[in-house]
Amino acid sequence: MNLAQSLIKAKAAGIVPVIAEIKRLIPKLADKDHYLPDSRDAGLLAKDYENGGAAGISLVTEKRFFGGNPEEDIPAVLRASTLPLLIKDFIFDETGIDYYAELLDRLGDSRKSRVTILLIAHLLKEKLPAVLEQVYSYGMEALVETRGTEDIPCLKEIAGKLTGVGFNNKDIDKLEKEEDIIRLTPKTAEAYRQVIGDALLVCQSAHRSPDDALFSLSCGADAVLVGTAFMLSRKPAEKVASFVRASMPGGRRIS
């Protein structure tokens, strides 16, 4: 099952579709005293997330700013968990896709169908359509990340080929160091929907609590991506479950 299919399944079940993220280093906290990169086993974390009810795992593999270790962590996650995997890196051209396809091939069996690659629209610019095709040619899926409505024009050429679009509440160019504020609004979600149609809209970052996740869904998101709140929790499975099982006021389940 790929990421889009898993998110749709969670939504149909009336639970909050959550992509739970593993990241070795949180830039926002890196300058603080006594902060150390996370060295826990990525496979064990992924299994905790799965036990908590996450619909997918996000793994930040970017090395310079986020301390990623793709060579060790991707195999660990895919072997420990049955969930689909979103790989997050700064991809600038097709060579980045080739790298991950070759890494997955070295695992010895085909797991590409479970993998989705994050493509950041404003980093790829005019290369986005070609890189998207490269992802698909390897049998993987793509989540195209955007900063907001200013990036919607980038989606128009590829709209019919999209299964998922990300709306990042934070500025990735600033390594997501800003305050946690949900920027998605119903008006913004509708502007996306006019272009992306039935593709999934994933609201990324700044979700500190289950209420934040519910707010994003109420604004029109189909799913949420949560990282820091889970990474800082001493009981990640329970923390994930609190998001997944959240309900609207009055106890109404997500529909």
| Fold of the CATH domain 3-251 | TIM Barrel (3.20.20)
Instruction: Give the residue, 110 or 233, on which the prediction is more confident.
Output: 233
Angle at which helices 236-244 and 42-51 pack, to 10 degrees? 40
Q: How confident is the model at residue 28 (pLDDT cuts 50, 70, 90)?
A: confident
pTM listed for this prediction: 0.93
3-state secondary structure of 180: coil
Interval 43-74: pLDDT, tens: 999 999 999 999 999 999 999 999 999 999 99
CA distance 255 to 246: 12
Identify whether the C-beta of residue 178 lies closer than 8 Å to the C-beta of residue 208: no
Q: What is the largest CA-CA distance in the chain?
A: 50
Residue in 224, 228, 219 with CA at minimum distance from that of residue 243: 224
Identify whether the C-beta of residue 91 lies closer than 8 Å to the C-beta of residue 60: no
Domain positions in the chain are 3-251
